[in-house]
Amino acid sequence: MIFYIVYALVIAVLILYFTGWLRRRDIEWVVILAPVAVFAVIILDYLKII
């Protein structure tokens, strides 16, 4: 379940990035957190922790 939530959030971040919303609010660093979150969820799912 958390797998799908993280992917939905990453898609939302990408949409906000390409529309310029993140740049206007000076929070583009969120784009760097997106792949880190996906990587963490994939590893935790592989290890059967979540």
In this prediction, residue 1 has a pLDDT band, given cuts at 50, 70 and 90, of confident
Q: What is the pLDDT of residue 49?
A: 84
The structure tokens listed for 47 are 């290890």
Q: Which amino acid is at 45?
A: D
Domain that residue 16 falls in: 2-46
List, for residues 6-27, the tens digit of each pLDDT value. 999 999 999 999 999 999 999 9
- The count of domains in the chain is 1
Handedness of CA 10, 41, 4, 2 (dihedral sign): negative
Match 């660093």 to its residue by tokens: 29
Angle at 38 between CA 36 and CA 12, to 5 degrees: 100
| pLDDT at 50 exceeding the cut of 80 | no
pLDDT given at position 36: 93
Which residues, in sequence order, are CB contacts of 35 under 8 Å at separation 6+? 10
- For 31-43, the pLDDT digits (tens) are 999 999 999 999 9
Q: Two tokens at 1?
A: 């379940």
